[in-house]
Amino acid sequence: MTTQQVLPPEINEPEPRHDATADQAETTNGMRQVKVHPLNLTSDLMSPATEIPSKAAVRAFNKIHRATQGIAAITQALVADAVARDSADATLSGYLSGGLAMAANVLAECVVEEIESLDMWAARRAAEERGMARG
C-alpha cells in the first residue's frame, strides 16, 4: 500500500471565482479578501507612553474593578440558570434573565466609557502640556 502526500495549494494562488458572501469580497487581482466584522475590530486605545497620574488611574481602575465584578456575578447567575434549564431545577423567569443580561451590558458599557474618558483626559492633558512647552 502506498500513501500519497497531499500538499496545500500555494498561498498566493487565486481561489476559484465565486459570488462574494457577506464575509468575503473579491479584490482587483482576483484574490479573496476577508472582511472583518466591526465587532471583531480591536485596537489599542492608549499608548504605553500615555502618562496618567496614579490618583486618576487608581480611581478609574477601582470603577472598572467594581463593574467587572458585577459583570462576573451576573454572568455566573446566567450560566447557573442555563445549567438549570438543562436539568429539572428551577430557573429564572425570562424577564429576570433578560434584565440581568441588560445589566451586564450596561456595566460593560460603563467600563468602556471609563477607559475612553481616561484616555480623552490624558490626551487633553498631553495637548495642554505641549501648548505650555511651546508658549
pLDDT digits (tens, 9 = 90+) for 46-94: 777 778 888 888 999 999 999 999 999 999 999 999 999 999 889 999 9
- Look at residue 49 in the predicted model and tell me its pLDDT: 72
CA distance 65 to 127: 29
Q: How confident is the model at residue 18 (pLDDT cuts 50, 70, 90)?
A: very low
Contacts of 110 (CB under 8 A, 6+ apart): 63, 67
Tell me what the mean pLDDT of segment 19-27 comes to.
Answer: 46
Q: How confident is the model at residue 107 (pLDDT cuts 50, 70, 90)?
A: very high
The pTM score is: 0.61
**Nearest Cα to 57, choosing from 114, 128, 113?**
114
- Look at residue 69 in the predicted model and tell me its pLDDT: 97
Q: Position of cell 440558570?
A: 81
Of 21-30, 36-45, 73-82, 96-105, the range with the lowest mean pLDDT is 21-30
With b for 16 or more beta-carbon neighbours within 10 A and e for fewer, the 41-50 pattern comes to eeeeeeeeee
Q: Position of cell 423567569?
A: 93
Residue 32: CB atoms within 10 A of its CB come to: 15
Domains of the chain: which residue ranges?
A: 55-134
